[in-house]
Structure 1
Amino acid sequence: MNWEQLLSLRRHGDVSKRLRKEQDETRLGFEVDYDRIIFSSAFRSLQDKTQVIPLSKTDFVHTRLTHSLEVSVVGRSLGRAAGKKILEKHPHLRDVHGYKFNDFGAIVAAAALAHDIGNPPFGHSGEKAIGEYFKTGKGVRFKEVLTEKEYQDIIDFEGNANGFKLLTESREGVDGGLRLGYATLGAFMKYPKESLPKKPTQHIADKKFGFFQSEKQTFLAVAEELGLEQTLKGNDISFARHPLTFLVEAADDICYTIIDFEDGINLGLISEDYALEYLIKLVKDRINTKKYNELAYKEDRLSYLRALAISTLISDAIDVFVANEEAILAGEFDVALLDKSKYTAQINDIIALSVNKIYRSQEVLEKEIAGYKIISDLLDVYTTALVRTNEGVASNYDRLVVNMLPGFYQQTDKPIYRILLNTCCYVASLSDSAAVHLHNKIMGKQL
């Protein structure tokens, strides 16, 4: 892979190449992507989607929206720092083609902003709930009418693939979705493969999948334009990651490691003494003891340590990225950047404590269980109504249900796979509160 291709400014529908040196510096194509994402309805819905604590009424607990904004800020810093190093190593990108280090920051920031845009309500349990409905619930009845890969798409419903669908899907009058630049779409794609085969290798890019069968051709067009390295060919395809994906992933890893931990402290799930001990281990080489000891309040001490921890991990991630740039370009770097961090032990200690005290806390478990029931019930009502309408046997109740849906999701003249996938994507688009509200209405608990 080479940087000139990887930094393509091409968008869906372009008939000629966009050159970096001809870009308007007041509104770069890479920066337009950020704007289009932040003004999208899919992004706005993240303000009421779970990051860790579902349906939390506490104002300092992060939602998917605040998490995504923070990841984009960290991603911009990572991208700019990496871009500076890349341009020093490959000066022709700057001198001949006109690329600047801020371009790298803009691409990573936009991809990071969108990284959770396809996630369902109720956190990662929402993904599992959608998949379980079709794997072991009433939705298993559709297995016989789907291809193996189509069925795998929905029983392993993946927020990353749904995100790619949201960003690129054409609708009537809207060709190419948000029409993001291909460099941004490439950086967004953490898992550039289809749903089968599952985990064909231990490479980080093969851990999950990044596009549904419905977006396969769109993905292939992006991969071809960017010159991504193909790792599997034939009936089963997969590709190496866009190098900047590693920076998007690092931004996410840094934020959830440190900030989910901070949420746990603010909620009282982790004691301050524990927290300070773990964070200080991470930043002990950079901490200003005098400044730290002058901070009288817990919130200020946590804020100082959090900022220092994020800064420490950003610097470390850049060191790993630059040291492994050739392997990354060759598609041979097979782990996340933080897996090679010199702070891996400290990171693992923080994550282990978060898993024990936060992710498995009673509040989280109880609301995830409720989320399973809500999502399963919604899928059952919607899929039944839509498929019966497709088959011409809809009841009056089915017609009422279909008419409740937004216009795009009322289409029943599609193949069953498209109807089921669109239904999954509609349920995934709901915020936590909207899912609860709809469930109450359908179950007759609220008029």
Structure 2
Amino acid sequence: MRASYASDPSTARGRRVREEESTFRSCFQRDRDRIIHSSAFRRLKHKTQVFVEHEGDYYRTRLTHSIEVAQVARTISGALGLNAELTEAVALAHDLGHTPFGHTGEDALHLLMQPYGGFDHNAQAIRIVTSLERHYAGFDGLNLTWETLEGIAKHNGPVVGNLPYALADYNAVHDLELHTYASAEAQVAALADDIAYNNHDLHDGLRAGLFTEADILNLPIISEAYDGVDRLHPGLDANRRRHEALRQVFGVMVGDVIDTSRDLLQASGAQSVEEIRANKAPVIQFSTALWSDLQEIRHFLFTRMYRAPSVMMKRAEVTKIVEDLFPLFMGNTALLPENWQADLAHAPDKTHVARIVSDYLAGMTDRYALQEHARLFGSV
């Protein structure tokens, strides 16, 4: 049964360009489906999480990560009586704006774009779904509902102060009320992201040999999970033992969010989605104790995985690729594909040229960026 504070498709604020609604699908279902069928979503298949996409067939990509986030988000949303379709739409779209090479590529592009307003992947996701996807006859972008756009823009909380230009530009013509919290559905998508990457980065780090099970057995949550598996399945082979233990870690995080958020929702007294937005704090959270445990796990992953020597060497290599390509395209925009030339022809100044170049670079997959760099510069 849906809660009173859930987002209701029948009272949604609509789309920027008016359309007839579907007979068979709610507006949030249509948003989800448009995201899945978008070019940007397909490109996530070849965009990395931590490792460069081609380094191994079993490591997570942005696409597999987004699917995992959506699965976790639907589970939590359903348990809390929220709108699972809206939650899933936001979860599937949350990484659309990522550059090639993950946060390493984003950091490099942000520095290069500093004179032109910087770069932010959340804001870039808004730019993609409102402008850069150009397939529909009646509009640019995907013409998503206000609620889905709001969720993409501020699923991590209110966005105030110096706004990223891509978000500021759109918000100026379609107010997403950036000063408030998003719906509970969007808040669920944000925590589902935390749950998914904490779990799968442990799995990928073990597979990559960046650390061993012995290294993580003293970490909170993880140690209890392994102990539980060993009691129930003594002598289990190593791969099954690992899988079962990390399944337990996953379950602990999901259960904690559901229990904690159910209490917070009740304590808030909210009876509508508008009251969720006006609340003084997020209503979807981890418990204080589990959040503290996650901070310890995150610190471990930061030092042993994200800053591992082999990962840092690769970070330096892919940073150079972005640092080479951006000034090359800025100095010779004719190198951009033909379908980008119309936008460049109407760019009024260097700032707008830089933002078009940034759009092009940000849209590249890992393998395409590597191929283009090799074509234009030779090997790294």
* TM-score normalized by the length of structure 1: 0.73
- 2:155 aligned with 1:215: no
Q: CA deviation at 1:355?
A: 0.9
**Could you report, residue by residue, the CA deviation over 1:49-85 in whole angstroms, capped at 9, with x for unpaired residues?**
11011245222211111111111111111111122xx
Instruction: State yes or no: 1:43 paired with 2:25.
Output: no
Please say if 1:407 is aligned against 2:371. Answer: no
For residue 122 of structure 2, what is the aligned residue in structure 1?
160
What SS is found at the alignment partner of 1:414?
A: coil
State the Cα distance separating 1:359 from its structure 2 match.
0.2
CA gap of 1:316–1:194, structure 2 versus 1, over 3 A, is closer
How far apart, in 2, do the equivalents of 1:105 and 1:35 lie?
13
Deviation at 1:255, TM superposition (A): 0.8
RMSD, aligned CA: 3.1
1:375 equivalenced with 2:339 (yes/no): no
Q: What amino acid maps onto 1:11 in structure 2?
A: R
Show the counterpart of 1:239: 180
Q: Closer, same or farther in 2 for the Cα pair 1:67/1:274, shift >3 Å? A: same
User: Can you give the 5+ residue segments of structure 1 that lack an aligned partner in the other structure?
Assistant: 84-100, 136-142, 144-150, 199-208, 231-237, 387-398
The Cα offsets for residues 200-251 of structure 1, whole Å up to 9 and x where unpaired, read as xxxxxxxxx594333223541xx3xxxx5x6xxxxxxx33333322211110
Deviations 1:152-195 (A, max 9, x none): x32xx100000011011175845141122222222222357668
Q: Does the CA-based 8 Å contact 1:71-1:113 persist in structure 2?
A: yes
Q: Secondary structure at the match of 1:293?
A: coil
TM-score by length of 2: 0.84
Question: How far off its partner does 1:5 sit?
Answer: 7.1
- In structure 1, what is the Cα distance between the partners aligned to 2:8 and 2:202? 38
Select 2:162's aligned residue among 173, 176, 197. Answer: 197
Gap change, CA 1:319 and 1:289, over 3 Å in 2: same
- Structure 2: 5+ residue stretches without partners: 271-275
How many residues align? The count is 364
AA matched with 2:304: K
**Does residue 179 in structure 1 map to residue 126 in structure 2?**
no
Q: Offset at 1:29?
A: 2.6
In the alignment, which of 353, 376, 379 is matched to residue 419 of structure 1?
353
**Which among 226, 234, 241 is matched to residue 301 of structure 1?**
241
* Paired residue type of 2:292: A
| Cα separation, 1, equivalents of 2:297 and 2:165 | 28
| Equivalent residues of 1:324, 1:333 under 8 A apart | no
CA contact (8 A) 2:225 2:246 kept: no
The equivalences for 1:13-92 within 5 A come to: 13-14=17-18, 24=23, 26-83=24-81
Match of 2:273 in 1: none
Q: Give 1:380 shift.
A: 0.7
**Which has the larger Rg?**
1
Amino acid at match of 2:369: A
CA contact (8 A) 1:282 1:346 kept: no
Supply the distance in 2 between the matched residues of 1:427 and 1:195 (Cα, whole angstroms).
27
Deviation larger for 348-357 or 413-422? 413-422
Letter in 2 for 1:162: Q
- 1:337 match: secondary structure: coil
SS in 2 for 1:348: helix
User: Taking structure 1 as reference, are residues 445 and 269 closer, same or farther at Cα in structure 2, changes over 3 Å only?
Assistant: closer
Question: Percent identical across equivalent pairs?
Answer: 26
